[in-house]
Structure 1
Amino acid sequence: MKTILYLCFLSSVGMAFGQNTIQGTVTDAETGDSLSYVNLYIPHLEKGTTTNDSGNFTLEGIPSGSHTLVCSFIGYETKSINVNIPITESLSIALTPSAIEMEAVIISTPFHKLQSDNVMKVEHKTISELRSSGSVTLADGITNIAGVNAVSTGLSISKPVIRGLSSNRVLVYTQGVRLENQQFGSEHGLGLSDAGVESVEVIKGPASLLYGSDALGGVLYINPERFADANDQSGSVNLNYFSNTEGYNTSLGYKSSGNAFKFLFRGSLAAHSDYNTADYRVTNTRFQEQDFKAGLGYQSTKFKTEFRYNVNHSKLGIPEEIGLQSTDKSPLLPYQDITNHVFSSKSKVFFNNSKLEINLGYIYNSRQEFEDEHEHEAHDEHEGEEEADHHEEHEEHVAEEAALNMKLKTANYDVKYHLPIMGKFETIVGVQGMHQTNTNYGEEELIPNATTNDLGIFAMSHIHFENFDVQLGARYDNRWLNIDGGENLNFNSFNGALGFKTSLFDHIIARLNLASGFRAPNLAELTSDGVHHGTNRYEIGNSNLTYEQNYQTDLALEYKSEHIEFFVNGFYNLVNDYIYLEPDGTEIDGEAVFNYVQNDAYLYGGEIGFHLHPHPLDWLHFESSFESVTGKLKAGNYLPLIPANSINNTIRVEFDSKKLKQTYAFVKLQSTFSQNNVGTFETATGSYNLLSAGFGSTVSLFKNDLSISIAGTNLTDKNYISHLSRLKPDGIFNMGRNISIGFTYNL
């Protein structure tokens, strides 16, 4: 570690010499005309620029070595080229016209490649895409990604589900570090705002090789807002209104970059009333959120670092039954009061042909829950408003001390060394770890005071052959659990991954990935012994649980031409010693007793998608996708919380003009099938169809861009219940018709 710190110090203060520069011109491959405002970006440096009116560009301060330069522009194929620095000649880059959308650079996998170059299939969506669909929250928005769903408790509390796996089986990364916020609880939400977020990536399948325990089912990777390009600055104001909840979210941000230093900040506020159905408002689904993000970066030729901070504070109502009918935005009892602090730093030291990455994080999560001692019967709108004032007075008296008060403190580190490229081999070796303490301060305890330590060592290589690529790696992990008043537990596992990508025929790419993953049991599964009020069960843990070990096979076929895209993704996931709750037929304190047990399980399914943009109507898009997951225990019973099969059909138009830029409109029909394959204590769910539509455009106002979007979801005001809704046992409907209006003004 002393050697690493010494290298970082030398790099930051004494290596500003050797300022390498990349210069070039970007043209149309068919006409030879120069292209203005083309985006050029080096992913691992997070450094970019755009071409000027003559199609020329300059990138300064580039370290020696091999770099990937990505060129993207609307209406053209995204191009990725390798540039060896130092370079003396000017680059001439020709882009091919295409109706296919621009490709994204994938950050969550270690080699930072375009999706077409990636051996592992990764889904990518920008926040602007998710917002345009009418999503209210970030957790709501990610359900628009194929293979991704959410276990929800109203609007404010949602947990990502990837191909049927959730909670501690799905790892969330934000600002480059793992997010730890008591994700073991199904009623514990994501705790992140979409303000100050650039995009979302989803790895579907075991990613334990890259991220360790808890990534057995996949990874949700949240990419923060980029810094401004060198010697540039910008600001923006965003405002969104939602008719269903009479709610809003708004944010203000500014960023500026010089040659070496850069900074940004963004603050946001959100508040929503109880969501409405065609028949009633769902009492206490209201919530409030405040969020602030800031970043500071420095970059020289040999050294790059950035520090980011995010604080998110939210008050989330916990719905129990249909009661007070009002549009107040202050949560009633019971409610959660959650504050999450995320500190992160990302540093890179560049050598001649290699680099060292050091990512450090500290997460402080404060979770408080205030309980309600009284139940409320349904009222009409007028009676509900009269009683609301009395209830608020009651809250002030009762909610002085939290019944549940937990503090989770997590420090983690991730150090990777990218070895010099040797022929066809790109290789990374690394070490990752975590130190975590959980402390209780309230009367109730869901999980005990405990200390967790993780250590993982791994290596992986990407091998480039003429007609195919291979990616392989291995990893060893160890987790130590020290439980206060209990025993010390240890879990360790070896895991590996092997992937292939090749072009079978013209325009057809095939990917085959074989991977194993593991998950150590969480504290709730090991130590529970009491009533879990969020689920109305008496849960009993099992300290003899072993870790889960899975083996997954993924096969993906993708056809892409200028006007037609088609993909088929299939998977089979075997999970040994799957941990789940099973009722034993007894009761304690009037609640049914559930025990944590283990059994082998398997999941299988996949996604199929089709996209047509016919010539010469390149502005017209037809999109259709189907997703399916089946999960069963080896004993024959179905797994709980498996999403129902669904089909999404979308018609979309896109066009640009001098006055209306980035203009679009869409109509979407989501058809969800009935879910009759249910777990032991689940009920079946009926089928339903949801109609959505929206449009948006960007206009010039006072010489700056103003983006306007309008979207409507559940336009027919359908009464329906999602199979993954935790309000399903009470027969409470999901949200009805909602019209959202959004404005973003660039300062």
Structure 2
Amino acid sequence: MKHTLLIMIMALSFYTGMAQNTIIGTVTNAEDGTPLSQVSIYFPELEKGTATNTNGSFEITNIPNGNFELVISSLGFETFEQKMAISSHTGPLQIALVPSAIEMEEIIVSTPFHKLQSENVMKVERADIKELKGNGAITLSEGISNIAGVESITTGVGIGKPVIRGLSANRVLVYAQGVRLENQQFGSEHGLGINDAGLESVEVIKGPASLLYGSDAMGGVLYFNPEKFAQPNNTEGDVNLNYFTNTQGLGANAGIKTSTDKLKFLLRGSYASHIDYKTGDGERLTNSRFNEYDLKTGLGYQSSSIKTELRYNFNSTELGIPEEIGVQEKDRDPELPYQQIDNHILSSKTGIYFKNSSLNVSLGYIMNKRKEFEEEHDHGEEGEEEHEEEVHEEGPALDMNLSTFSYNAEYHLPELGKFETIIGVQGMHQTNSNFGEEVLIPDAKTNDIGVLATSHVHFEKRNGLQLGLRYDHRNISSEEPMELTSEILDRSFNSFNAALGYKLELFNKVTTRINLATGFRAPNLAELTSDGTHEGTNRYEIGDPDLNHEKNFQTDISLEYTNKHIEFFVNGFYNNINDYIFIQPNGEIIDEADVFAYVQEDAKLYGGEIGFHLHPHPIDWLHYDSSFETVIGKRKNDEYLPLIPANKLVNTIRVEGAGKSTWLNDEYAFITLRSIFEQNKVDEFETPSDNYNLVDLGLGGTFLFNKQPIEVRLSANNIFDKTYISHLSRLKTDSIANIGRNISMAVSIPF
């Protein structure tokens, strides 16, 4: 299959018999007819666009024949969206934008038809990475936990595992550069493995997305969009500096990108270093320090008939594994035990456009190298420095390589009346190899293939129906007999999945969405084969090679009201999971470690989110946001599931451009109160968590220095230095508090 896809792409790349069209036009203010500059003109499917000049005019070249969605957006105006039939006869466009206090809409990429959120049948949350970082987040994992319905299982500040509506690990699929990210995400002490530098936004699908992405997407998807290439015939770059007081954290990244009419190139490098974090009690968590290096580069080509891009990301992280509040020091190099993780992501994405249809193919290769260094041997009276040097010479105790080749081919059929249809094939080939003294999971191979078909049916008034069907097959086989059973593992899992969604405008400005979807997840290698001490979790883990695959059915209902000054939404979900897999202690002790065994039982999760945004007129500079989220997870016997996040209420007051300053542009300030409620709906092996409140502040803007714009941001999280322990902290069992007050300062300089 791999070679067939490569040959197909190479053959199709020579297809050049498409017409080349040039689209010109002007954009004006609908109220007074004045031209609008710096308005975004964008064809999402083609990933091609431009911006209007000072006269409101624009021109886009090398557009193929066909039906493509055109999106025109500008801050302070309603987003214009329309399906256009492009041909050599397409005349000049005259677009008038209607003023609006509502923030402009963005394109949703993670769903197959590239709709605006107002057009989308599925409810998808989208957030700008820049905005998340502006809230003072140290890491990307911390930043995404500001999205309603998304939390993080943490080990200090350097390691975070995303949680969507109570589901995590392999139940949440992560996409980066358009390909699935595979980095041994079964472990709760394994983080995302990607850096926020060079990322533009994140989209969150809450609930089963197996129709679109297959196994491991039964709980949801985090889809990270990389930064776009520069506009044609432009060169731009930037330098960004960050400092965090609590961890004395240093962060820097710089990037440059340039484009001609057809060729595109970008490059970005980043570095971050943090010492042990300080709790609200003023004590530092020993060995919570970490260092990270990241490099991203991309090369693109686009003509009227084909667009293709090749991207590469290298991420290297040294992560201390914290165990106690011990020696209070400010070193940056991790002590034993620590992890060394290298992640290589190579991806290609190609789109080929025919007269009334298109083919999109994405290929990815990921090499994840995970090493863990431990203090294993007794060196008598030797000094600590000599001891550590010998451990390094002996090599890592745990040394795992996970290589993954993935593919995704989608053919957009010609539209039939109100029907848009996509058929596709997806899959991966994965190999896990061990080179260290310890074997956490065996040498094994995973082969996965899925076929799908999905359609979007358009009705009047932006109402729509989306439906689809998918079949998946996954095989997992070990290279050698498992220690658990002394037998070769060879398991196959098959599943049909379906989804049905309907979007309806009930009344003027009132929209409802109803989505019904099934999902599935094959058990991972750790759940099937574990039989040994997992140092990262300080426990002895036992798997079960006879586990069934998980299957779920979820109902999502959302209701939204939007006008110029108020936005309100309420989301509710009920998720029924058959054969839910989880780990729990069985009361035994092996090698002085508590024994945890993987078991499965039917389960259910339910809850939702409520949100409110007030943007009053004529006080256009004032924003008030409020959101509440809740999740309850229960097993069939009515006992609670472990690692379910506590209820959370977030209130934010934000001002933007209130002073109309002549020397400061895009200025803003905010204050946020995060109220986390007591979590007493816990598994029998967990302990309840207390409630707490955290206050965050922030401000920023852009000023000119010798005609050079400089953006500055200042934020303070946990401003009152509150001592608290998150329910999803892996350090909770040792009564170790989360991070205390942290003030961050950031400077961005474009050039």
Report the counterpart of residue 379 of structure 1 in structure 2.
none
Distance between the aligned counterparts of 2:744 and 2:384, measured in 1? 30
1:69 matched to 2:70? The reply is yes
Opposite residue 550 of structure 2, the aligned amino acid is E
Q: CA deviation at 1:82?
A: 1.5
Opposite residue 192 of structure 2, the aligned amino acid is L
Q: CA deviation at 1:12?
A: 4.2
> Can you list the C-alpha shifts for 1:407-457, whole angstroms capped at 9, x where unaligned?
000000000000011110000000001000000000111100000000000
Report the counterpart of residue 719 of structure 2 in structure 1.
715
Identity %: 60
Note the 1:223-302 alignment, pairs <5 A: 223-279=225-281, 280-302=283-305
Report the counterpart of residue 456 of structure 2 in structure 1.
462
Report the counterpart of residue 538 of structure 1 in structure 2.
540
- Give the secondary structure class of the aligned counterpart of 2:114: coil
* Alignment equivalent of 2:741, drawn from 726, 733, 737: 737
Report the counterpart of residue 632 of structure 1 in structure 2.
634
Q: CA deviation at 1:6?
A: 7.0
- Give the secondary structure class of the aligned counterpart of 1:214: coil
Report the counterpart of residue 96 of structure 1 in structure 2.
98
Distance between the aligned counterparts of 1:341 and 1:654, measured in 2? 39
* Alignment equivalent of 1:181, drawn from 162, 180, 183: 183
Cα distance change of structure 1 residues 393 and 142 upon mapping to structure 2, 3 Å threshold: farther
* Alignment equivalent of 1:662, drawn from 649, 653, 666: 666
Opposite residue 564 of structure 2, the aligned amino acid is E
- Give the secondary structure class of the aligned counterpart of 2:365: strand
Distance between the aligned counterparts of 1:225 and 1:391, measured in 2? 45
Distance between the aligned counterparts of 1:741 and 1:85, measured in 2? 47
Opposite residue 26 of structure 2, the aligned amino acid is T
1:39 matched to 2:44? The reply is no
Report which stretch shifted further, 577-586 or 176-185: 577-586
> Can you list the C-alpha shifts for 1:131-157, whole angstroms capped at 9, x where unaligned?
110000111100000000000001111
Q: CA deviation at 1:595?
A: 1.8
Q: Is the 8 A contact 1:8 1:303 kept in 2?
A: no
Cα distance change of structure 1 residues 6 and 451 upon mapping to structure 2, 3 Å threshold: closer
Cα distance change of structure 1 residues 528 and 7 upon mapping to structure 2, 3 Å threshold: closer
Q: CA deviation at 1:277?
A: 1.4
Opposite residue 497 of structure 2, the aligned amino acid is N
Report the counterpart of residue 691 of structure 2 in structure 1.
687
> Can you list the C-alpha shifts for 1:510-536, whole angstroms capped at 9, x where unaligned?
000000000000011101111222222
Report the counterpart of residue 383 of structure 1 in structure 2.
none
> Can you list the C-alpha shifts for 1:603-633, whole angstroms capped at 9, x where unaligned?
0000001111111101101111100000000
Report the counterpart of residue 371 of structure 1 in structure 2.
374
Q: CA deviation at 1:7?
A: 6.7
Opposite residue 525 of structure 1, the aligned amino acid is E
Q: Is the 8 A contact 1:371 1:399 kept in 2?
A: no
Q: Is the 8 A contact 2:20 2:65 kept in 1?
A: no
Structure 1: where are the runs of 5+ without partners?
376-388
Distance between the aligned counterparts of 1:131 and 1:89, measured in 2? 43
Q: Is the 8 A contact 1:78 1:102 kept in 2?
A: yes
Opposite residue 695 of structure 1, the aligned amino acid is L
Q: Is the 8 A contact 1:343 1:363 kept in 2?
A: yes
Q: CA deviation at 1:101?
A: 1.1
Opposite residue 352 of structure 1, the aligned amino acid is K
Opposite residue 56 of structure 2, the aligned amino acid is G
> Can you list the C-alpha shifts for 1:486-539, whole angstroms capped at 9, x where unaligned?
121000000000000010011111000000000000011101111222222222
Q: Is the 8 A contact 2:172 2:220 kept in 1?
A: yes
Q: CA deviation at 1:705?
A: 2.3
Distance between the aligned counterparts of 2:32 and 2:723, measured in 1? 54
Q: Is the 8 A contact 1:16 1:301 kept in 2?
A: no
> Can you list the C-alpha shifts for 1:57-98, whole angstroms capped at 9, x where unaligned?
011101111111111111111221211111421111111111
Q: CA deviation at 1:5?
A: 6.2
Q: Is the 8 A contact 2:280 2:724 kept in 1?
A: no
Cα distance change of structure 1 residues 321 and 508 upon mapping to structure 2, 3 Å threshold: same
Distance between the aligned counterparts of 1:690 and 1:550, measured in 2? 35
1:330 matched to 2:333? The reply is yes
Report the counterpart of residue 478 of structure 2 in structure 1.
483
Report the counterpart of residue 423 of structure 1 in structure 2.
417
Opposite residue 470 of structure 2, the aligned amino acid is R
The normalised TM-score by structure 2 is 0.96
* Alignment equivalent of 2:195, drawn from 188, 193, 199: 193
Q: CA deviation at 1:43?
A: 1.2
- Give the secondary structure class of the aligned counterpart of 1:398: helix
Distance between the aligned counterparts of 2:681 and 2:148, measured in 1? 20
> Can you list the C-alpha shifts for 1:297-319, whole angstroms capped at 9, x where unaligned?
00110011000000000100000
Cα distance change of structure 1 residues 13 and 494 upon mapping to structure 2, 3 Å threshold: closer
Note the 1:472-511 alignment, pairs <5 A: 472-484=467-479, 485=481, 486-511=488-513
Q: Is the 8 A contact 2:186 2:524 kept in 1?
A: yes
Distance between the aligned counterparts of 1:517 and 1:466, measured in 2? 30
Q: Is the 8 A contact 1:172 1:219 kept in 2?
A: yes
Distance between the aligned counterparts of 1:4 and 1:303, measured in 2? 16
Distance between the aligned counterparts of 1:55 and 1:176, measured in 2? 33
Report which stretch shifted further, 653-662 or 455-464: 653-662
Q: CA deviation at 1:17?
A: 5.8
- Give the secondary structure class of the aligned counterpart of 1:44: coil
* Alignment equivalent of 1:413, drawn from 407, 410, 423: 407
Report the counterpart of residue 145 of structure 1 in structure 2.
147
Q: CA deviation at 1:233?
A: 1.1
Distance between the aligned counterparts of 1:692 and 1:660, measured in 2? 23
Report which stretch shifted further, 257-266 or 15-24: 15-24
Structure 2: where are the runs of 5+ without partners?
482-487
> Can you list the C-alpha shifts for 1:136-185, whole angstroms capped at 9, x where unaligned?
01111000000000000011111100000000000000000000000001
Opposite residue 728 of structure 2, the aligned amino acid is L
Which stretches of structure 1, 4 residues or more, deviate above 4 A after TM superposition?
1-14, 389-393
- What is the count of residue pairs matched by the alignment? 734
Distance between the aligned counterparts of 2:496 and 2:224, measured in 1? 27
Report the counterpart of residue 444 of structure 1 in structure 2.
438
Opposite residue 337 of structure 1, the aligned amino acid is Q
* Alignment equivalent of 1:359, drawn from 347, 359, 362: 362
Q: Is the 8 A contact 1:582 1:680 kept in 2?
A: no
Report which stretch shifted further, 48-57 or 535-544: 535-544
Report which stretch shifted further, 465-474 or 428-437: 465-474
Opposite residue 526 of structure 1, the aligned amino acid is L
Opposite residue 637 of structure 2, the aligned amino acid is A
Note the 1:538-577 alignment, pairs <5 A: 538-577=540-579
Q: Is the 8 A contact 1:12 1:300 kept in 2?
A: no
Q: Is the 8 A contact 1:439 1:449 kept in 2?
A: yes
Q: Is the 8 A contact 2:310 2:347 kept in 1?
A: yes
Cα distance change of structure 1 residues 95 and 457 upon mapping to structure 2, 3 Å threshold: same
Distance between the aligned counterparts of 2:402 and 2:90, measured in 1? 53
Report the counterpart of residue 389 of structure 2 in structure 1.
396
- Give the secondary structure class of the aligned counterpart of 2:460: coil
- Give the secondary structure class of the aligned counterpart of 2:286: coil
- Give the secondary structure class of the aligned counterpart of 2:38: coil
- Give the secondary structure class of the aligned counterpart of 1:711: strand
Report the counterpart of residue 730 of structure 2 in structure 1.
726
